[in-house]
């Protein structure tokens, strides 16, 4: 009797916790619906907080611009946001190229030449240059020239008449090809490189000249260095850096140097020394006292008109030094192409107490 009573109690207890056969399917269905509702509620809540547009997504990212976005499909067919309108701010003057009609930016207004200003057609040149159509090449040709010059048959010629210049000294002067003319100012023989050595030495000074004998000089009205400039016979000291011009070893290929002008500007009573600067891309090399803009050069031994010379390189990408403009007395600049260059001859002179004319008998120690 006691056992049966116990079994009845256990059966009663179990029947109160377990659904009957009839109620079990309803119980499972209700539980599944409850779980589905919870999942759906979670997805709905997440979707409510997701940004609905690309602009809102960019705004939430914080570091992206919020304009110019569109929704596109990627390679897998998924939607994504892509920015198609990238706006740039010109740090100069906006214009349309007169030939290509492309929109461009001219950073230095001194080099901007308006061809048709009402419709913003223009040409952009280097600082203090203007665009002129070629007098001898038709309206479809032209190029950049310094202010006060114009294009004529591919050259930049002055807008003002020039006075005839005396005939130059014979090219044999001082170049090992003949006797020295007494009326001719001649430099020493050009320094010759050998192997990986350039021939020039740190702390020594040199007159720089071109293959035809004309020197690298300084303009009078500007600070540009140019071929046959107004002021010539300028000693340039080869320096390790702008803070080290001490005398030292012969410069090797791959080693850099700066060129220090020992004269300074003609209006300066103190003859403050300066540097050939680091102009490139068509801008002309100038005299500067700003050490941060002093040019850094490397060289390769070569020949020019059967004389020893150096091809100089420098600028942002190590390009060649070459003429900046197609004119009778061109300036110099660095171009990107390392093969398109203008060779210079280095003739040694004393740095400070030098003789005039610069001929033999100079103490270079």
Measured in degrees and rounded to the nearest 5, phi and psi for residue 167 equal: -65, 140
* pLDDT tens-place values along the chain, 365 residues long: 444 443 433 434 444 444 555 566 665 666 666 665 554 555 444 444 445 688 888 788 776 777 777 887 777 778 888 777 666 678 888 999 888 888 889 888 888 888 888 888 999 988 888 888 887 655 557 888 888 888 888 888 888 766 555 555 444 443 343 444 444 445 468 899 988 999 999 999 999 999 888 999 998 888 999 998 999 999 999 999 999 999 999 999 999 999 999 999 999 999 899 999 999 888 899 999 999 999 999 999 998 888 899 999 998 889 999 898 877 788 999 998 998 888 999 999 888 754 444 444 444 44
Q: What residues does 149 pair with on adjacent strands?
A: 158
């Amino acid at each position: 009797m006691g056992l049966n009573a116990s079994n009845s109690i256990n059966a009663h207890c179990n029947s109160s916790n377990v659904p009957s056969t009839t109620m079990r399917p309803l119980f499972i269905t209700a539980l599944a619906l409850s779980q589905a509702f919870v999942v759906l509620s979670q997805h709905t809540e997440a979707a409510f907080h997701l940004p609905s547009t690309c602009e809102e997504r960019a705004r939430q990212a914080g570091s992206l611009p919020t304009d110019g976005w569109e929704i596109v499909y990627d390679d897998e067919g998924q939607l994504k946001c892509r920015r198609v309108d990238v706006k740039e701010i010109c740090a100069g003057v906006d214009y349309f190229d007169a030939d290509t009609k492309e929109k461009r930016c001219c950073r230095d207004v001194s080099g901007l030449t308006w061809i048709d200003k009402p419709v913003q057609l223009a040409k952009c040149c280097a600082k203090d240059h203007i665009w002129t159509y070629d007098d001898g090449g038709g309206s479809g040709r032209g190029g950049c020239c310094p202010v006060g010059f114009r294009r004529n048959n591919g050259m930049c010629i002055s807008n003002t008449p020039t006075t005839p210049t005396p005939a130059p000294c014979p090219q044999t002067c001082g170049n090992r090809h003949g006797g020295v003319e007494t009326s001719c100012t001649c430099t020493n023989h050009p320094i010759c490189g050998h192997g990986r050595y350039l021939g020039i030495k740190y702390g020594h000074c040199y007159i720089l000249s071109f293959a035809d004998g004309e020197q690298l000089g300084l303009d009078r009205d500007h600070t540009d260095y140019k071929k046959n400039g107004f002021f010539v016979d300028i000693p340039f000291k080869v320096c390790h850096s702008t803070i080290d011009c001490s005398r030292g070893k012969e410069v090797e290929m791959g080693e850099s140097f700066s060129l220090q002008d020992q004269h300074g500007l003609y209006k300066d009573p103190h003859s403050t020394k300066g540097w050939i600067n680091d102009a490139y891309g068509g801008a002309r090399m100038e005299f500067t006292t700003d050490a941060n803009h002093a040019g850094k050069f490397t060289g390769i031994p070569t020949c020019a008109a059967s004389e020893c010379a150096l091809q100089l390189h420098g600028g942002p990408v190590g390009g060649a030094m070459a003429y900046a403009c197609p004119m009778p007395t061109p300036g110099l600049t660095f171009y990107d192409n390392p093969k398109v260059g203008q060779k210079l001859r280095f003739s040694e002179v004393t740095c400070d107490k030098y003789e005039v004319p610069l001929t033999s008998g100079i103490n270079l120690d």
